[in-house]
Amino acid sequence: MLFTVSTIKLIAEIALLGLFGQWVLGLLAGAKKNQNFFYQILQIVGKPFVAATRVITPKQIIDRHVPLVAFLLLLFIWLAATLMRIRTCLEIGVELCK
């Protein structure tokens, strides 16, 4: 159980950092962000999560807002995984969680 929760938490952290980095780099690069190599790499990291969010969200949400919705969903998943990990560690003992 601890391994599963830790894996979900890790995947959410990587995706959150990728989406956040893409947003910051998009602000810094401006209109030429799609030509930026690092922006493209961060876009590849976040693309599966944005695509999955597009599938589960209603069509009324415009495509421009889907990355923000994906970020918020991943944030909630990360929070839930963190709370679950804390609960699991308290149940089995903190020494076993290291």
Name the one residue in this structure whose structure tokens are 């495509």: 63
Q: Where are the alpha helices (DSSP H) in the chain?
A: 2-29, 37-56, 66-92
pLDDT of residue 37: 92
Domain total in the chain: 1
pTM for the full model?
0.87
Task: Render pLDDT for 34-68 as a digit per residue (tens, 0 to 9).
Answer: 888 999 999 999 999 999 999 999 999 899 999 99
pLDDT of residue 34: 87
Range of the domain at 11: 2-97
